[in-house]
């Protein structure tokens, strides 16, 4: 799962709102670039940025701030707020922004979403669905529609949208925990046809674990980082950890069956200082796994496929093991490996 630390900009300043109310804007950092660099130092690969002025005015206002982050860090930047036409999307992408968020436009101008996906590809477009009591809100959360958030998501999926950010506005900026019920309803209601990013209410590492266990693609963290209730580095480690440990336990099981392969050798290459059940694991050694498994796979078959890709990526071609991981026995073992990984994570407070 991907962790996206957040910076919201209002009047050129890093702020957080309480339940989307602009009058509650609170300054949370002195310098946007220093803040972004601190996120990068903690291990973040993505940053979520919102132009609050742009969302309210219906046009980009703080563009240079976002392009500066894209130019002066190695972070992948996703930006939303005030993006209402194809020209703005094109300009942002040409300036180095990795992904553009379409919020109000998804409801008010769905043709724009369809055109954007067709022109720029589904990897470059994310639809932000912000809801109050399950109904979609627009224009910087100042207007509420009568459209159900799951219905809008499915409509967007039919247009080729792959990524969604879901925000329960009543949770945003409250540190009261994610709305697991609505997130689960969205996950189930879209039938695994999209990648969901949770937003709003994240408070502690428990919320990261909830989103991870739900199978979500990502989680946005804002106020929790600034108040210190969430350790960003630890959140990133947890997001990466469970799927890697599941991979480890599956491979360990394979090696226990096929003793001709060198378990010690492969573990040495995967993470030289790994203790696994005893932790800690040096996360710098897990980059190859993250490349092939950035989010938690939606099925055992998908998980096995990614383990196969991982073995190839790290240059280990144990044919018997690669054949073995595709068998029904190992497919059925994935659930056991997941349970073991979960126990290990919780044992070490991940």
The per-residue pLDDT for 349 is 61
Task: Report the C-alpha gap between 295 and 215 in whole angstroms.
Answer: 8
Class (C level, CATH) for 2-230? alpha beta
Which of 39, 42, 51 lies closest to 5, judged by CA?
39
Average pLDDT, the chain: 85
Which of 79, 87, 17, 82 lies closest to 53, judged by CA?
82
pLDDT digits (tens, 9 = 90+) for 31-57: 999 999 999 999 898 999 999 999 888
pTM of full prediction above 0.95? no
Contacts 24+ apart (CB under 8 A), 113-122: 113/156, 113/159, 113/161, 114/159, 114/160, 115/86, 116/86, 116/89, 117/159, 117/160, 117/161, 118/160, 119/86, 120/89, 120/90, 120/93, 122/160, 122/161, 122/162, 122/163
Do 91 and 66 form a contact (C-beta atoms < 8 A)?
no
pLDDT for 278 beyond 60 = no
pLDDT for 106 beyond 90 = no
Task: Report the C-alpha gap between 96 and 75 in whole angstroms.
Answer: 10
Q: Are strands 143-148 and 135-138 parallel, antiparallel or unpaired?
A: antiparallel
Enzyme catalytic residues: 8, 130
The per-residue pLDDT for 342 is 79
Task: Report the C-alpha gap between 123 and 57 in whole angstroms.
Answer: 26
Structure tokens at 328: 């029904």
Q: Which of 14-23, 28-37, 99-108, 168-177 has the highest mean pLDDT?
A: 28-37
Residue ranges per domain, the chain?
Answer: 2-230, 240-347
The per-residue pLDDT for 294 is 65
Q: What is the mean pLDDT of residues 55-67?
A: 91
pLDDT for 271 beyond 60 = no
């Amino acid at each position: 799962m991907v962790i996206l630390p957040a910076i919201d900009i209002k009047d050129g300043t890093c702020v957080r709102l309480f339940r989307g109310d602009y009058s509650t804007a609170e300054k949370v950092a002195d310098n946007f670039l220093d803040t972004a660099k601190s996120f990068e130092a903690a291990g973040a690969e993505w940053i979520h940025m919102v132009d609050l002025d742009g969302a309210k005015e219906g046009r980009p206002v703080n563009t240079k701030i976002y392009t500066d982050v894209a130019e002066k860090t190695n972070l992948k930047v996703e930006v939303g707020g005030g993006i209402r036409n194809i020209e703005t999307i094109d300009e942002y992408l040409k300036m180095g922004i990795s992904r553009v968020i379409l919020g109000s436009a998804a409801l008010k101008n769905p043709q724009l979403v369809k055109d954007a996906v067709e022109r720029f590809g589904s990897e470059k477009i994310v639809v932000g669905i912000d809801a109050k009591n399950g109904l979609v809100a627009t224009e910087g959360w100042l207007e509420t529609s009568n459209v159900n958030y799951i219905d809008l998501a499915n409509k967007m999926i039919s247009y080729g949208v792959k990524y969604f950010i879901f925000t329960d506005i009543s949770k945003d900026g409250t540190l009261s925990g994610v709305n697991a019920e609505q997130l689960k309803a969205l996950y189930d209601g879209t039938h695994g046809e999209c990648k969901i990013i949770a937003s709003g209410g994240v408070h502690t590492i428990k919320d990261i674990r909830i989103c991870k266990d739900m199978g979500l693609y990502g989680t946005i963290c804002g106020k929790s980082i600034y108040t210190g209730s969430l350790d960003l580095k630890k959140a990133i480690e947890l997001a990466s950890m469970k799927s890697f440990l599941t991979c480890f336990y599956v491979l360990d099981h394979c090696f226990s069956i096929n003793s001709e392969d060198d378990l010690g050798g492969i573990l040495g290459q995967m993470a030289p200082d790994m203790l696994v059940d005893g932790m800690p694991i040096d996360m710098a050694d897990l980059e190859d796994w993250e490349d092939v498994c950035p989010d938690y796979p939606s099925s055992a078959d998908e998980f096995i496929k990614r383990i196969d890709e991982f073995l190839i990526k790290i240059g280990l071609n144990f044919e018997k093991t690669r054949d073995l991981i595709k068998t029904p026995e190992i497919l059925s073992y994935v659930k056991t490996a997941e349970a073991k990984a979960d126990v290990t994570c919780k044992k070490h407070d991940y």
